[in-house]
Structure 1
């Protein structure tokens, strides 16, 4: 007599489908709880300028979305990000390939890359404010310096992790360093470096806004945040923060699609 119990594979599949369906509901529920806690704390705080309620912040956010100046400021900030990220990817990729191929190049850049990866971002920004004559230059340089080590290390590791069989074949062939870089190193390392570069976009955006805030570069998102804190009116600060979260989330979705393609 056959058992009437359902197949374990069918049960596992049904459980997976249920979990997938519940995931968006769990996310929405978590956000609702956060907004509720925000509202309770804001009303008990009793100072709307310093800690505004969610309704007041969302109203300010809608006004931002309907203002043309908002998109002009975002365009300036994203333009700085694109330029700095492009330069960091270009130099980090080429120098990382050379460092993976030649030990003396790796030794030359090791202290600088290690220093950039360990020093606090704020310390570097303060030093650059002293060294650079124009404040707007700081945001480009700091974003470049924060993204460069990531791309550099990804390119270097991709060369070092080349299959041993391929290294043996290359050792027997009298090819120039340029031929090896163009026809071997770049094709093999490009997928890894591409993934690293795309994943660093969100980090670069947050570092850029931090640099804009400290250096007070104009026009910029960071300068808007600085102005709000200086005027002790945190409603626009909260509204812009929500807008920044939306931008970063949009960038993450774009990055995932580019990685999938």
Structure 2
């Protein structure tokens, strides 16, 4: 007669018992990924349903709230050649986006490099921080449009004012985050490194920088976000080709579907870049969250 403990074993699937452990782990990971994707996909479908309902209700005209199908048609139009017209204003959507990403890479990249270097100096030299931090805070609070016109007067209407605007927008978040992280580096570890004969450069390289890297990466992500939010402002003047220029030009003609396509392209590319930065952070700073 079977015992009570043997009954559950008899109910187990023999296929599960025979399944190799790596395959079970892979199946478990796949189930976890599916669960993580279910909520975002569900929220997207709900958003599209609400959007379609609002557009179909007719409360607002299609100029203000175009239906999703019309926006999809605009996406196809700006991504292909139709009726002899190549994309939008002779440039495909992916080309507009690529030109804007290149501007962000140059502008935000320059601002990030300068911001990290300046933040290191501010965090290690007290009088430099006291002297420059109010100016950086002042710059950080300025909206890009406040000084873009001045950049145009100084640098013209070509690429220079756009790159400079993105660099100036990206600089303060990185500089402030780096300075704060460097100043908060553990004092006892710095003193231990000096006691072991480390020079000032050694202490900064081997103790301060590793301690500050997580916050520096946070500042970099913030800087890229600020640069993206400044993109349309940077391309207000002579921005075509460029995704921000496309949005501005379409808005001038009340072409709301193209405006929405451009906004979606900026947002999705921003999400992808932020995801890449997160992966880079996990690779460079694997100890974040574990110490």
Tell me, yes or no, whether TM beats 0.5: yes
Q: Does 1:41 align with 2:54?
A: yes
Give 2:120's aligned residue. Answer: 97
In 2, are the aligned partners of 1:97 and 1:185 still within 8 Å (CA)? no
Q: Deviations over 1:67-102 (max 9, x none)?
A: 572222212111111111221122111111111111
In 1, are the aligned partners of 2:194 and 2:203 still within 8 Å (CA)? no
Aligned residues: 245
Q: Indicate the structure whose relative CO is greater, using CA pairs within 8 Å and at least 6 residues apart.
A: 1
- After superposition, residues 134-153 of structure 1 pair within 5 angstroms as 134-153=157-176
Give 1:53's aligned residue. Answer: 67
* Residue 55 of structure 1, CA deviation: 0.3
Worse-superposed segment, 33-42 or 83-92: 33-42
The whole-number CA distance in structure 1 between the counterparts of 2:113 and 2:207 is 18
**Cα RMSD after superposing both structures:** 3.0
The whole-number CA distance in structure 2 between the counterparts of 1:184 and 1:194 is 17
Q: Which stretches in structure 1 are left out of the alignment for 5+ residues?
A: 3-17
The whole-number CA distance in structure 1 between the counterparts of 2:128 and 2:185 is 18
* Residue 104 of structure 1, CA deviation: 1.7
Rg (Cα) greater in structure: 2
Partner of 1:243: helix, strand, or coil?
helix
Give 2:245's aligned residue. Answer: 223
Q: Deviations over 1:235-260 (max 9, x none)?
A: 21112222222212222222222222
* Residue 50 of structure 1, CA deviation: 3.9
Give 1:31's aligned residue. Answer: 44
* Residue 46 of structure 1, CA deviation: 5.7
Give 2:261's aligned residue. Answer: 239
Q: What's the TM-score, normalizing by structure 2?
A: 0.72
* Residue 61 of structure 1, CA deviation: 1.4
In 2, are the aligned partners of 1:88 and 1:145 still within 8 Å (CA)? yes
Partner of 1:219: helix, strand, or coil?
coil
Partner of 1:215: helix, strand, or coil?
coil
Q: What's the TM-score, normalizing by structure 1?
A: 0.79
* Residue 146 of structure 1, CA deviation: 1.9
The whole-number CA distance in structure 2 between the counterparts of 1:25 and 1:86 is 35
In 1, are the aligned partners of 2:140 and 2:169 still within 8 Å (CA)? yes
